[in-house]
Amino acid sequence: MPRQSKIKIALEPAAWHRCRIENVWVDLLEDGTCELRSVPFYAYDLSFGDRISVQVREGEVYFKDVIRRGGHRTYRIIVAREFDALAKAAFEQYWSPLERLGCSYEGTGAPLNLFAVDVPPEVEVEQVESLLEDGHVDSTWDYERACPRP
């Protein structure tokens, strides 16, 4: 396996997203474990920076277990309407304070408009949740806690 590569995470097939597999970036570490280098869109209880173990199944590398938490948290935002100029402006209005705190995201784009949000360890989770709730109350987005513990 190359130093940086993608691995697969098996997902619950009956979940709302209907995806069976999620691919995430990892760095291979010298001891044979991996460090997660992307923010999961669908998998729960995983965050950027987590050290994980993997296993090979049918020639593919799959997530096995979390060995050590990296201190980050994962949230998801979904914009359930057309992501037109008005929706983008509303998103930016509520996202900007989160970005100033140090949060970042990876997005899927239309038609789902799903954003996997990384919250670094130094960011106060109460502030993040308050800002996420503000965007929810204003009907800009829905959100969920995908991995709220560090």
**pLDDT value of position 113:** 85
Say whether pTM exceeds 0.85: yes
**pLDDT value of position 109:** 67
**pLDDT value of position 17:** 75
The model's pLDDT over 65-91, given as tens digits with 9 standing for 90+, comes to 999 999 999 999 998 777 788 888 999
- In this structure, the number of other CB atoms found within 10 A of the CB of residue 89 comes to 10
Pick the CATH number of 73-147 from 3.30.70.2380, 1.10.3470.10, 1.10.10.10, 1.20.120.1200: 3.30.70.2380
In degrees rounded to 5, what are phi and psi of residue 7?
A: -125, 170
**pLDDT value of position 86:** 86
Residues of the chain with CATH 3.30.70.2380: 73-147
User: How many angstroms separate the CA atoms of 139 and 30, rounded?
Assistant: 46
Q: pLDDT below 50 — which residues of the chain?
A: none
